[in-house]
Amino acid sequence: MIQKKISVVVPSYNEEQYILSLYGQLTRILKGVTSRYEIIFVNNGSFDSSDRIFTDLARKDKRVMVICLSRNFGSQNAYSAGLSLAGGDAVVCMDGDLQDPPSLIKDFIQKWQEGYDVVYGVRKKRRGNIIKRIGYKIFYRLLKRFSYIQIPLDAGDFGLMDKKVVAILNAMPEKDRFIRGLRAFSGFKQVGIEYTRNDRTKGEPKYSFLDNFKWAYKGLFSFSYTPLELISLFAFAVGLIAMIGIGYYLYHYFVFKDAPHGFATMITVILFLGAIQLLSISIIGGYISRIFEEVKNRPNYIIEKVLNKQRKK
């Protein structure tokens, strides 16, 4: 048993099927490692019976804090809301759908006691849709390859952070938050623990294919300049192709003066150049949209109420 306080932050959006089961598992695990803990559920605009379940839990157990947001602000901002009120010496972040095993928290705490400031879960194996599994693998490798910081492969938000790391994340003013990237950006002594991520057993996935694509887009644009640098490569490639094309046509013009000049070739070139220009504009637009969100300086989330709010120590 340790004497330090552990906080667990759990964003939840329409996860009524999992709340009580997750609460039970977390309570049993945390009681086995420390006498001081808190479980922070962030009700991220749920419209099922989650609010009633959270209210009952908070009434029965004062160690359960419930942060109710005024609407759904996305998982990253829900995590940020929980981190802002967490008072533990270490804070564990995990999703509310039991795909990440709560039992791994013991291993996180053990590594933290060994001196690591950040301990994150590495998804060695995934269960579920094979197309999604392949997509995730590709995304994490692209992110690692193109990011200007070292973001661990196959590491999600599930992990533990020392309170000094949490304080740094809370102080970061950016609006377009990507917790696992910010966690890596903070530095300090970090280590990963491999585990198998389960598939959902109840309810429907919260992210569609388009949502997952937007998620990948968010990660790449938040921690990589490579898309901007690709524009220069596109320009160089198109210029090189143009020079080759000019040489080819000049050769045919002077050597084969009766050679037909194809209208289709002109259309193809125009469409190719147009596609490159639109792609370049979309990349620039992606970065401009993020600048737009930052300069508006709107809050990342709005808290409607907090049940069992505790003072930070």
Angle at 312 between CA 310 and CA 313, to 5 degrees: 125
Alpha-carbon span 142 to 120, nearest angstrom: 19
Q: What is the pLDDT of residues 74-109, one digit of tens each?
A: 888 999 999 999 988 999 999 888 888 888 999 999
Q: What is the pLDDT of residues 270-286, one digit of tens each?
A: 767 777 777 777 777 77
The least confident of 113-122, 184-193, 239-248 is 239-248
Instruction: Return the closest-CA partner of residue 99 out of 180, 199, 19.
Output: 199
Mean pLDDT on 140-167: 81
Does 206 have pLDDT greater than 60?
Answer: no
Higher pLDDT among residues 197 and 90, named by residue: 90
For residue 220, give the H/E element and its range.
Answer: helix 209-222
CA atoms within 13 Å, Cβ hemisphere of 89:
13
The whole-number pLDDT of residue 200 equals 61
Confidence of residue 295 (pLDDT cuts 50, 70, 90): confident
Residues 6+ apart with CB under 8 A from 189: 115, 116, 117, 118
Alpha-carbon span 61 to 257, nearest angstrom: 89
Mean pLDDT on 253-266: 61
Instruction: Return the closest-CA partner of residue 130 out of 199, 194, 50, 79.
Output: 199
The whole-number pLDDT of residue 42 equals 94
Does 17 have pLDDT greater than 70?
Answer: yes
Instruction: Return the closest-CA partner of residue 153 out of 120, 182, 188, 111.
Output: 120
Using the CB atoms, write b or e for 92-103: b if 16+ within 10 Å: bbbbbbbbbbbe
**From 1.10.4160.10, 3.90.550.10, 3.30.930.10, 2.40.50.140, which CATH number describes the 6-129+155-208+299-307 domain?**
3.90.550.10
Which pairing describes strands 6-12 and 37-43: parallel, antiparallel, or unpaired?
parallel
The whole-number pLDDT of residue 7 equals 93
Confidence of residue 220 (pLDDT cuts 50, 70, 90): low
Number of helices followed by number of strands (H, E) in the chain: 10, 8
Give residue for tokens 């930070």: 312
Mean pLDDT on 128-141: 68
Give residue for tokens 């294919």: 209
Mean pLDDT on 39-43: 93
Confidence of residue 69 (pLDDT cuts 50, 70, 90): very high
Sign of the Cα pseudo-torsion (166, 172, 175, 176, in order): negative
Does 209 have pLDDT greater than 60?
Answer: no
Residues 6+ apart with CB under 8 A from 247: none
Work out the burial of residue 268: count CB atoms within 10 Å of its CB; fewer than 13 is exposed, 13-18 middle, 19 or more buried: exposed
Measured from the Cβ of residue 146, the count of other Cβ atoms closer than 10 Å reads 17
The least confident of 4-8, 86-90, 188-192, 295-299 is 295-299
The whole-number pLDDT of residue 161 equals 93
Average pLDDT value over all residues in the chain: 80
Angle at 88 between CA 86 and CA 93, to 5 degrees: 60
